Chains A and B, each alone.
Chain A
Amino acid sequence: MTGSPDESTDGWDDALRVLAGRAHMRNRVRAQRIAELLSAPWERDTAVREEAARLCHTVAGSAATFGEPGLAEAGLLLETALREGRDHDVMPALDVLRSRAGGARSPEA
């Protein structure tokens, strides 16, 4: 990998593509973990709520950095619902997150 972005970017693009693929897989695992946390009674468990929210935050930041704005938005929406106590929004937001995190990564427009 050379130091100048003005030189050929093929190596750089390839490297980013590999890292983006890894990030997607990690976010998929995080989404599964979030679903596990929220499958048990969670509404009054502060620790579970905080861990789920923190994982959502990580998904949002990672997905946004690696070009998955839809997944990032889903992570942010669920995090916000958990932190703001909008419990009726949590399950629908989780469904969206799992839908966008699942499967092979596809390029977003």
Chain B
Amino acid sequence: MRTRVIGREARYVATGGRRVVVIDDDPSIREVAALALTAVGGHEVHTAGDGAEGLEVARRVRPDAILLDVMMPVHDGPAVLGRLRALPELRDVPVVFLTAKVGTKDISRLDGVGAVAVITKPFDPLGLAGELAAVLGWDA
């Protein structure tokens, strides 16, 4: 695995797999998700710390999927998803929410916003790539 750090964005390059953008305001979650998705999933991972940066990264790298935190300052996950859907080049990119908020009211709010699925925190780093593959229908 090669790692290049470009500004605040870390790019983890593996030997194959899909291209995934991870958007989360917690650097620890970005780090462990990127490690898990490259080391276990073999994916190329780009990370971003907020919605604005995430949109910029996604427009540039054209990912196969976006893992998006729900609770972020300024623009939360659903708001970022709305912006993604307004961009023709990103409209069809599958988005999976990543969140610790999984009460009934929270799920109701996330339902119908347009994400493919919700992965809850805490997640098992060893299992994240498999979970993502399962919800997106990728070969694990």
Contact yes or no, B26 A62, CB < 8 A = yes
Contact yes or no, A26 B122, CB < 8 A = no
Q: Tell whether A91 is near chain B: CB-to-CB under 8 Å.
A: no
Residues of B contacting A23 in the complex (Cβ-Cβ under 8 angstroms)? 28, 32
Q: Tell whether A22 is near chain B: CB-to-CB under 8 Å.
A: yes
Interface residues on A, range: 20 to 34
Taken together as a complex, chains A and B put the C-alpha atoms of A65 and B125 apart, in Å, by 8
Instruction: Give the contacts of B71-114 with A (CB-CB under 8 A).
Output: 71, 73, 99-101
Q: Tell whether A61 is near chain B: CB-to-CB under 8 Å.
A: yes
CB-contact partner of B26 in A51, A61, A72, under 8 A: A61
Contact yes or no, A15 B28, CB < 8 A = no
Main secondary structure of the interface of B (DSSP, over half): loop
Closest B residue to A66 by CB, please name it.
B28
What is the size, in residues, of chain B's interface with A at 8 Å between Cβ atoms? 25
Q: Tell whether B121 is near chain A: CB-to-CB under 8 Å.
A: yes
Binds B, one of A35-43, A52-60, A95-103: A52-60
CB-contact partner of B122 in A3, A19, A65, under 8 A: A65
Binds A, one of B34-42, B45-53, B56-64, B131-139: B34-42
Contact yes or no, A2 B39, CB < 8 A = yes
Contact flag A65-B101 (CB < 8 Å), given A3-B39, A16-B32, A57-B71: no
Residues of A contacting B101 in the complex (Cβ-Cβ under 8 angstroms)? 57
Contact yes or no, B1 A1, CB < 8 A = yes
Q: Tell whether A64 is near chain B: CB-to-CB under 8 Å.
A: yes
Q: Tell whether A107 is near chain B: CB-to-CB under 8 Å.
A: no
Interface CB pairs A-B, < 8 A, 20:
A1-B38, A2-B39, A5-B126, A12-B126, A15-B35, A15-B39, A22-B28, A54-B71, A58-B71, A61-B29, A61-B99, A61-B100, A62-B29, A64-B100, A64-B122, A65-B29, A65-B121, A65-B125, A66-B28, A66-B122
